[in-house]
Amino acid sequence: MRQRALLATALAVLLTTSACGGEPESTPDPRAPTSAPATAAVPEPVAFDPPSKFQSGGQTLAEAPRRGGALGDPQVSAVLVGRTVVYVDETALAGQDVVTGEEHWVTAMPGVTASDPTVLANPVLYENRVYAAAAITVPGSTRVTGHRAVSLAALDPTTGGVVWTATVDALPGDPVQDVRLVGITPDSIVVDTSTTTYVIDPQTRRTRWKVQLFEPTVVDGTVVAGQLGADATEVKTRTVGLRLTDGVQLWAGGVELQQGRTFPLGPGLMAASGREFTDTTPYFDFLDPATGESRYAGDRKDLRGLTDCWFDARTVVVCAGTGAGPLAVGYDASDLEEIWELPSGDRSAPRLTGAWHGAVYGELAGRPVTLDGKTGAVRNASAGAAPAVVNQYAGLSAGSGALTLFPAVG
């Protein structure tokens, strides 16, 4: 990947100017991206809502980071903002036009240095800003001991300009290694470091509360939900919802799990999966993040084969699972009524990778395919790519170990 040596000076400046819990900056940030946005007029590309076919081969943007070490799954460490892709590239974030391939800007992540490499968290888009987080080491001085911390930044996705930065000091003993930016609301930023969850006030940049043994994955309204460990091993967990304002536990699931995980499925919906701790029976349920109550009206035993789900950001939830072979199921997002299932007849289920605006993406017999989210019918049997993140202009995948961009062509 491209080296960002020319950013070393900017990184040093960023580290010294990112004050811990400082007040919002009142003057424009002097740190500019390494290049300005293109000024030449570019014809508006054709938008496909949703796309069913992508340019095969794609363009490699960067190495795909792996959470949890070298054996972890490669992550799509990028977001699509209109026709711009904002992605993690080594110690920086970059913005590129998904249609022309032109790189618009590169901005160093505050506090991250080449001598202390770290994996930047997957960026998050919220209200026209891109938020980023990374583990850093705050250097010591004659009066202060060096320590680990979390660097936070909010960027303008069009220019790469830094809107604000903050440094969140970690609890003593927290190594701050695998940082995740879990979610954002108008009054909360939720960050997790594998050992500790920090909830930060975006106005003051100060930590409002923190908790250990908790793996947050869903930020919905006034609640952050996830798996709370019974002890430091976190082998036994329970699905819980904590209040964003103060961390008070609002609800707890009635089933203790091993290998428990939770994930968001759009406003007012999440899923929890794993195995029941007492007898290793497969567990899966659709839950309301605000109350923890099940949203599924049918027999929950019918959900046991499910492992992953995606919300298409409109009306469909599609899930993957295993039985005698791969399983794919479509649900109406409003009431979770099943609307289609594969395999069916002579049709096999694809390996699903994502869904967006009524289209479902995956691979069938090793070939990318696009399905109709409302019927499960094949929209395109030669889709060119099976992306995980999609908008009207492009798709993104990390399946090969590299972050790859696939422009939409149909």
Phi-psi label, residue 127: left if phi above 0, alpha if psi -120 to 50, beta otherwise: left
Residue at 15: amino acid letter: L
**Assigned token pair, 72:** 């972890």
**Assigned token pair, 247:** 């961390």
Q: Is the dihedral of CA 292, 293, 296, 302 positive or negative?
A: positive
339 within some domain: yes
54 within some domain: yes
**pLDDT over 70, % of the chain:** 88
285 within some domain: no
E-assigned strands of 46-195? 59-63, 78-81, 84-89, 92-97, 103-108, 124-126, 129-138, 147-155, 162-169, 180-185, 188-192
Name the pLDDT band for 57 (thresholds 50, 70, 90): very high
How many CA within 13 A on the CB side of residue 146? 9
Over residues 300-318, the pLDDT tens digits come to 999 999 999 999 999 999 9
pLDDT for 38: 52
164 within some domain: yes
189 within some domain: yes
Nearest partner of 385 among 394, 377, 376, judged by Cα: 394
Q: Can you give the pTM of this predicted structure?
A: 0.87
The mean of the pLDDT values for the chain is 89
Give the mean pLDDT of 284-297: 97
- Gyration radius (Cα) of the chain, Å: 22
Q: Residue 136's domain is classified under what CATH number?
A: 2.40.128.630
Q: Which of 28-42, 50-64, 199-213, 396-410 has the lowest mean pLDDT?
A: 28-42
Q: Which domain holds residue 396?
A: 5-23+48-212+305-407
Residue at 326: amino acid letter: P
42 within some domain: no
- State the Cα–Cα distance between residues 187 and 245, nearest whole angstrom: 8
35 within some domain: no
The count of domains in the chain is 1
**Assigned token pair, 370:** 């696009």
288 within some domain: no
For every residue of 391-404, DSSP letters joined together read: -SSEEEE-TTSEEE
